[in-house]
Chains A and B, each alone.
Chain A
C-alpha cells in the first residue's frame, strides 16, 4: 500500500509540480482526504468529532481558546500543522493506529498552501467541465487535433518530446485491436500499406468503426461494468437468461446509439412513453446483479442487497462515484450523506420483485424478448391466422344458421361440450411442472359442502410437494408446492361452492412461477383469489430428480383430501385458453367453438382445424421466445427507509426519492422517479457523466484513464493527469450529441495515439507508467482479445453475432467439484467452440478459467477499471490449453496451405498473421530453427504427431503430411505465445 501511494506521488508531483504554485484540488485535498477525512470528514458528526476539514468554513473556524485548524497565511499558527509535527505521540495526527502518516513532502505542500492563503475550491469533478481552448504549444505541426495540444503542452512543461509516429503496420494493428478486439488480416494490412492517400488511416478507422466486430468489442467491456452473467451467483448459482440484454448492448454500439440515450434506456427504458420491447430489454442492465436462491435465506435481507447493488453499479458506471460507501453511515470522503444514499436507493426500490431469486431461470419481473428472426416468424404466422380467421368470419351468418339447424337435431342433455382440438388425451403423460402452461377444466358436485382434491399431481401428504386444485370447505384452493413452508404458491378463493350444485371449475396457469400467473373460473366467470403465499422458486423435479407423481382426479395429498362428491368432465390443455374457450367449456349448451371444432361441415371443420393448428404453432413459437429480466415499477410505491448501519432489519426514517444535494437538481419538468433520475444523469449540467464516460474510452484506447481511478471521481479518486484535456473531451462529447464513435475516432486519430510505443531508458525512468504519453501506450490484450486473436489468427473464429451463450473447451470437472450435484459443464461442439469470448457462458461461482486467468472482471459486481497481471499460469494456459493448441495446429495448417511453397514463406506468413508485420532476419532465423527442430522432433515418431494433431475437435487436413503439419503446429504455438501477439503494440 505504502509503496503504491509513494509511486502515485512520484508520478503526479515530481513530474509536474516543480514550477507551479500549489493547487488545492490537485495537491492539497488528496492529502487531507486520504489522511484526515475518515474522522474529520463528512461523517465527523456521527463520531462526535467537532473539527471538519472537508469544508472551508469549518476548517477555519475558532476551535475554542483562539485555536484554528487553519489560519490563512500562517502555517505556524495553524493547529493542523502543529498537530502533524508535534513531538507528542499521543497528540500527533494522523494517529498512529490509523496507519496513516503525512510524508515530509506532503507537509511542505500543506505549509505552502496555508502560507499562500489556504485558498479553497470545490472538488474538481463536481464543477461542470470547462471547454478550454487548446493551449499553444512548442510544435504546432505535430498537433493533429486538440488532444495533442493538451498532451504536448504538458510535455513542454516537463521538457519532454513526443515520440515519432509508429510504423504503419504497428498503427493498423494497434487501432484494429483497440477498436475491434481482433488483429488485422493480411489483406487488410496489404490494402492499408498500399493506400498512399493522406486519408488512408482515417479510412481504416472508419472501416473499423463500421464493423460489427467493433460493437462486440465495445460490448464486452460494458458487460463487465454491468456485471453481466449467465448465472445467478451466490450459493446455487443456477442459470439465468440475459443474453437478449447482451445482444441489445451489441446492437446499441453497432447503431452508435448516443450515450445519453444509451444511459436512459438502460436505467429507465421501461418508463419511456410507449416503451418498445427493445427499450424494456435495455433495463436488464440493473437486473444483472446476483440473485440468491439458497434454501433458508431471509428474503428481505437480499431484497435490500439487490437495490444496493443497483445504486452502487449505476453510480460507479455513470457518475464515477462510490455512493455505496454511504450505505451504513455518511460517506467518509465525499459530500454524500447516508440519507442521500437512501434517497437514490428509493429510485431503484420500486421493482415488483422478491428477495429470493429463482433457483433455475429468470426471476420476475421478466419480459418476453423474441429475436428479430422470431419476430419475423411470428408475423408470418399472425398473417396466416388473420387470413383464415377472416375467411371464417366472412361466412359467420351462414355458420350460425347451420349451427341452429344442427342444434335442433340434438336430443338428450349433456353437461359439457369439450373442445377437442389440442386437448390432452393421455392423462398419464401429464407431468406439468412450475414452468409449464396449462388449463384444466372439471365439473364438480357434492351433496355436502364440496371438499377435497378436484385434481392434483401431488405426493401423498397434505403438505407434500406437487400442485393441484382443491375445495376446502367449499372454498377453492390452488397450490404449487416445492416446500410447504416457504417455497410455494397458495391461493384461496373468497367465495365458497355450495352443497348440491354442479359447477364447472377451471384453472389456467401461465408458467410464470407467480401467483399472478394463476386464474380460476367458476362456470366461466373468474373468481377472485387471495394469495396466502407467493414465493415459489424451485421446480417440483429439483436437483436433477424427476417428480413422478401422476395426474390424479378427485384425490392426492393424503386420504383426507379425497373429494367428497363427484368430479367429472375433466379436460386438460397444455396452454392458457382464451376467454371464449373458457366460456365454451363452462357452458352446458354447445358453443360456436364446439360446433366449429366437432360438428360443422367437414370443409368448415377442416378450416377450423387448420386455424387451431396455426394458433398452436404460434403459441409453441411464443414458448421458445427467450425472456430477459427487466426493471418495472410497482403500482404503489414501496416506502424507503434509511437502514440503520445499512441493515435490512433496522429500518429508520422514511425518505423520498432524491438526488444528492451537492450535485445539480433534477431538471425542470421531469418526474421524481427512476426515469427522472435517468434524465438527471444525462442532463447537460451533470458534471460527471460525460467525464466518466470519456475517461473510460480513454482507458480502452490508452490502457489507463486520464483519471486512473476510473471507478472513483470522488475526493479519494486520482487527480486527472490532464484535467483540461479531460474537460475538453467531455464537453466535446456532449457537443457532438454524445456520439461514441466520433469520440473514439478523435482519440485514435490524434498524433498522441499514433506515437511509437518504443520506450527509452530515460523515459522509463521519468515516466514508468507512461501517464504523460511521451510515447505510445503498450499493454497486454484484454482476456477476451487474447483468445479471440488466437482464433482469428488460426482462421477459426466464428463470426456469428449474438444468441445464447456457448460453452467452449474447459478442463473436466471444474463445475462439478464445487457446485451441487446436478450442475456439470456440458461443452458445446462445432462452430460454437470458436465464437468470440463475449459469448462464452459465464458462471459466476466458477468463471471461465482462461478468461479468469487473464484478468477478466469477475462479474460478481461492477468493475470499471481494467487490470492486467503477468503470471506463469497465463503462460501454461497459452501453451497447453486445448483451445490454444488447436488454434496453433490450425495456424500451422494455414501456413502450409496459404503461406506459399517454401518454409521461409510459410513462416513469414504465420508471423505476419500473428503480429501484423514481417519478421526481421534474426527473427526469421529463430523461426526457421524452431521449424527444423520440430520437423526432426516429429519425423521419427508418427504417434507423437498423431497425438499432437488430435487436439481439438476440428479435423486436420488429410492431404498434408502429418509430421510436417505437427511441426508447423508447434511453430504456430510459438507464434501465438509471442509477447507481441498478446500485446497491443
Chain B
C-alpha cells in the first residue's frame, strides 16, 4: 500500500473516530481486522484481559474421533490378568453404552498390546506408539481424568468446542477472539486447519469453529491446503496484484464519495476491510509458504511435513501463526475412531501425529514462544477398556468412552512435567481429581487472563458464557 493511500485511509478513520461518539458503528472493525497500525492487541472488549495473562495464544491440536487413552497414556499393568474376562459389573455400574455395543453379549477386557515406559524426570508413562511425545515428557501436563456427558461424536465435539452439546453456541476460539481481539492486523484472530488421518474418519462441521450467536466475524477462518489457503483469497486468473491495487484505489475513491455524502460509518469500515483483504493477499501466502523453512524444520516435524495439508505441515503453520500473533489456532486431525482393528489403525495415526506434535512443543520452546503459547492435545472422549467386536491376541476395537480420557497441555502457564488425576484399574471410572470439559475451558480462559464467568454475551435474554453455569479453574495444573 503506498504511503499516500495509507495516510488517506488513516485520516479517514481518525476523522470518524473524532466525529462520532461510537466510532465505527454496529458492524465495526472486529477480530478479523482489529489492529490499528502500530497498536498491540485490539478489537477485544474493554476491560479484557481481566488480569495478566500467562498465555497470549492457544494452539489446540484436536485429535478428532477420540484417541484411546489406554493405548497411549493411561498405563494399566493390572489389566494383563483380566484379559478376555468380562468387565466386572462393579466397574461398569450400568452406565449407558452407545447403540454400537449395548447389544454385545459380553464385554471382554482388552489390555493394550503396546508396551509402556516412563520417561523424563517426571516419569510420566507413554506407550511405544508415541516415542516423540515421550521425549518432551517434562514439558507436558498430562491430564488423565477428563470426562464428558456426550457419547457420540457430533454432540461430543460440539460440547468440547462450544461448551454445549447442541449446535448454536459460539466456539471457544470465537469467544476468545470476541473477548481478546487480535494481535495481528493482517491475519485473522482465529484460524482452523483440518487434516485427514488414515483411520476411520467421522464427519466434522463448520459449527465446530462457528460464532454461534456472536457476530459472524468472530468465527474461525479455515486455512486449506489445496487451492486458496483462505477462501477466495486469490485474484481471478488473468488479474494480478498491481491491477488489484489500482482497482482498490478506485473503489476506495468511489466509496469515499458516498461516505462524504452520507456520513455512514459502515462505508469507512468497508473501505478498511477491503484494505485488510488486500493485505491478507500478501500476508497469508507469506505465512503458508514453507519454502524458506530450513531442512532442519522438516526433519524436526517428520517426513509428512513436506506434504501440504498434512498434520505435520499444519503444525509448522501453527508455529508460524503463533509467531505472527494469531490468537487461537486450532488443528483438527481426523481418523481416531477405532471401533475395530485398533492396533493397526492407531499405529498409523500415531505415525502421522506423534512426531509433529512433539516437534511443535520443542520448536516453540527453542524460539521462546512456549511460555506464552498454550498447546492443547486431545480428542472428544476416550475409548472403552472392553473390546468392541472380537478380542484376539493381536486385535481388538474400542467403543466410545466418555467417563475418563487423557489430554495434555503444554506451555502457556501450565505446570510442566506433571500427571494430573487418576483413573481406576480399568481406566473406566475416575479415581481422583475429575476434570470436566467446563473446567478445562475455565482453566484455558484463566491462562488467557480471562475470568470465564465474566466473558458473557446476552442472547435471548440470557447472559451466555462458554462455561454455561459451570466450570472451575483447576489451579493444581496452573504454574
A contact set with B: CB distance below 8 Å: 1-5, 7, 97-99, 233-237, 290, 292, 294-299, 305, 316, 322, 325, 332-334, 485-486, 649, 709, 711-712, 714-717, 757-761, 764-765, 768-769, 778-780, 811-813, 817-821, 844-847, 849, 852-853, 855, 858, 860-861, 867-877, 879-882, 885, 920, 922-923, 926-927, 929-930, 933-934, 937, 943-951, 966, 970, 973-974, 977-980, 983
Cross-chain pair count, CB within 8 angstroms:
293
Give the shortest distance, in Å, between A799 (CB) and chain B (any CB).
Answer: 27
**When the two chains form their complex, are residues A765 and B227 in contact, meaning their CB atoms are under 8 A apart?**
no
**When the two chains form their complex, are residues A778 and B461 in contact, meaning their CB atoms are under 8 A apart?**
no
Q: Does B118 contact A (CB under 8 A)?
A: no
Give the chain A neighbours of B251 by CB distance below 8 A: 974, 977-978
Complex Cα–Cα for A485 and B154 (A): 21
**When the two chains form their complex, are residues A2 and B400 in contact, meaning their CB atoms are under 8 A apart?**
no
Give the chain B neighbours of A934 by CB distance below 8 A: 243
- Most-contacted residue by chain B among A1, A486, A844, A860 (CB, 10 A): A1
Chain B, residues 138-162, CB within 8 Å of chain A (1/0): the string is: 0000000000000111110000000
Q: Which chain A residue lies CB-closest to B246?
A: A933
**When the two chains form their complex, are residues B273 and A294 in contact, meaning their CB atoms are under 8 A apart?**
no
Give the chain B neighbours of A3 by CB distance below 8 A: 45-46
**When the two chains form their complex, are residues A870 and B266 in contact, meaning their CB atoms are under 8 A apart?**
yes
Give the shortest distance, in Å, between B340 (CB) and chain A (any CB).
Answer: 13
**When the two chains form their complex, are residues A870 and B258 in contact, meaning their CB atoms are under 8 A apart?**
no
Give the chain B neighbours of A871 by CB distance below 8 A: 30, 32-33, 216-217, 273
**When the two chains form their complex, are residues A846 and B205 in contact, meaning their CB atoms are under 8 A apart?**
yes
Complex Cα–Cα for A950 and B239 (A): 12
Interface SS of chain A: helix, strand, loop or mixed? loop
Q: Identify 9 new A-B residue pairs, CB closer than 8 A, beyond the known A333-B461, A709-B461.
A: A234-B154, A237-B203, A292-B152, A296-B400, A712-B460, A761-B19, A811-B227, A933-B243, A948-B237
Which residue of A299, A325, A948 is within 8 Å of B236 (Cβ)? A948
Complex Cα–Cα for A840 and B151 (A): 33
Give the shortest distance, in Å, between A969 (CB) and chain B (any CB).
Answer: 9
Stretch of B95-103, B411-419, B440-448 contacting A (4+ beta carbons < 8 Å) = B95-103
Q: Which chain B residue lies CB-closest to A856?
A: B216
Given contacts A292-B154, A920-B257, A946-B238, contact A297 B99 (CB under 8 A): yes
Give the chain A neighbours of B462 by CB distance below 8 A: 322, 325, 332-333, 716
**When the two chains form their complex, are residues A869 and B232 in contact, meaning their CB atoms are under 8 A apart?**
no
Which residue of B30, B151, B270 is within 8 Å of A979 (Cβ)? B270
Give the chain A neighbours of B266 by CB distance below 8 A: 778-780, 870, 979, 983
Given contacts A764-B19, A970-B243, contact A885 B203 (CB under 8 A): no
Which residue of B152, B277, B281 is within 8 Å of A296 (Cβ)? B152
Which residue of B33, B263, B276 is within 8 Å of A758 (Cβ)? B263
Q: Does B255 contact A (CB under 8 A)?
A: yes
Which residue of B46, B216, B271 is within 8 Å of A869 (Cβ)? B216
Give the chain B neighbours of A943 by CB distance below 8 A: 238
Complex Cα–Cα for A442 and B435 (A): 62
**When the two chains form their complex, are residues A947 and B238 in contact, meaning their CB atoms are under 8 A apart?**
yes
Q: Which chain A residue lies CB-closest to B103?
A: A485
Q: Does B476 contact A (CB under 8 A)?
A: no
Give the chain A neighbours of B25 by CB distance below 8 A: 768-769
Complex Cα–Cα for A50 and B264 (A): 51
Complex Cα–Cα for A944 and B242 (A): 13
Complex Cα–Cα for A98 and B465 (A): 12
Give the shortest distance, in Å, between A483 (CB) and chain B (any CB).
Answer: 9
**When the two chains form their complex, are residues B45 and A872 in contact, meaning their CB atoms are under 8 A apart?**
no
**When the two chains form their complex, are residues B27 and A868 in contact, meaning their CB atoms are under 8 A apart?**
yes
22 contacts between A and B (CB under 8 A): A1-B463, A2-B46, A296-B99, A296-B399, A297-B99, A485-B100, A712-B460, A821-B201, A845-B207, A858-B210, A870-B273, A872-B273, A876-B280, A880-B233, A922-B257, A947-B238, A949-B238, A951-B237, A970-B243, A978-B254, A978-B258, A979-B255
Q: Which chain A residue lies CB-closest to B24?
A: A870
**When the two chains form their complex, are residues A846 and B206 in contact, meaning their CB atoms are under 8 A apart?**
yes
**When the two chains form their complex, are residues B456 and A1 in contact, meaning their CB atoms are under 8 A apart?**
yes
Q: Which chain B residue lies CB-closest to A945?
A: B238
Chain B, residues 345-361, CB within 8 Å of chain A (1/0): the string is: 00000000000000000
Complex Cα–Cα for A849 and B200 (A): 27
**When the two chains form their complex, are residues B235 and A880 in contact, meaning their CB atoms are under 8 A apart?**
yes
Q: Does B261 contact A (CB under 8 A)?
A: yes
**When the two chains form their complex, are residues B246 and A869 in contact, meaning their CB atoms are under 8 A apart?**
no
Give the chain B neighbours of A852 by CB distance below 8 A: 206, 216
**When the two chains form their complex, are residues A235 and B202 in contact, meaning their CB atoms are under 8 A apart?**
yes
Given contacts A780-B266, A974-B250, contact A761 B20 (CB under 8 A): yes
Q: Which chain B residue lies CB-closest to A3?
A: B46
**When the two chains form their complex, are residues A868 and B250 in contact, meaning their CB atoms are under 8 A apart?**
no
**When the two chains form their complex, are residues A768 and B20 in contact, meaning their CB atoms are under 8 A apart?**
yes
Chain B, residues 11-35, CB within 8 Å of chain A (1/0): the string is: 0000000011110011110101100
**When the two chains form their complex, are residues B458 and A1 in contact, meaning their CB atoms are under 8 A apart?**
yes
Q: Does B228 contact A (CB under 8 A)?
A: yes
**When the two chains form their complex, are residues B273 and A875 in contact, meaning their CB atoms are under 8 A apart?**
yes
**When the two chains form their complex, are residues B206 and A845 in contact, meaning their CB atoms are under 8 A apart?**
yes
Complex interface residues of chain B between 193 and 228 (CB less than 8 A to chain A): 194, 196, 201-207, 210, 215-217, 221, 224, 226-228
Give the chain B neighbours of A853 by CB distance below 8 A: 216, 231
Complex Cα–Cα for A566 and B54 (A): 80
Given contacts A297-B99, A768-B22, A946-B238, contact A872 B46 (CB under 8 A): no
